[in-house]
Structure 1
Amino acid sequence: MAICAGCDKEFKLETSKRQGNGLFDVNVRAVWGTMASGGGTTDLQKQLSTLNIPPLTSNMFSSLEHTIGDWWSKSIKDEMLKAGAEERRKAIEKGHFHEGIPYITVICDGGWSKRTQNTHTTHQVV
């Protein structure tokens, strides 16, 4: 809220645009960035307090975290389905079949170990 020094009229000012879903864009972006960098509510609260910006409540962060997580899950699912369909098309195009089912070669990286081991496997694309 801001008050005019001349007429004492109060004005409500929004410091961020709202997205189509009613969420403040700046809040969504702050939580998204925190999640993308591996942080959590405490990390964002520390950053905002350093900037002298009122922090989001833990409940608001959690709510936005779940909303963004749902967006990511849907996006990832859609992209993986599109990629799978494309790989299937390419396998058929190349004539890669195992018992009549198209297959692709997948290379996996063990990720959790200190030394990675690549594993080559053949997977059927249904």
Structure 2
Amino acid sequence: MESSQNDDLYVAILLYESSSQDPFIKPMFQECFVLIRAGSDEEARVRAEQHGKDQETFYHNVAGQEIRWTLRHVVDVNRALSDTMEDGAELYARHFTNYDAYHAFEPLLGGTID
């Protein structure tokens, strides 16, 4: 499936999870915002899912344990708020009602990554 420059620009939020056979290694999660060009909402979701699957990987840490990153969920796929990539262009926005919950999980606001 090829995209065209005439396609709409979408933002996909992909959630990845790390895992290991070692029960002492806690899973980590990574939230990625990815730009997708597609001709429709359905095509954008399919392309986002495929991109997420293509990014799955594994490696061995310094102790030789295999760490595997897999796509856990396509959280959202929406048209970008702006079609330009200029300074200050707004690409994505979401709303929530519980700031305390957001603050608790967001490490950049002082939350923890546990």
* TM bucket normalised to smaller: under 0.3
Indicate the structure (1 or 2) with the bigger Cα radius of gyration.
Answer: 1
Higher relative helix content: 1
Return the TM-score normalized by structure 2.
0.28
Return the TM-score normalized by structure 1.
0.26
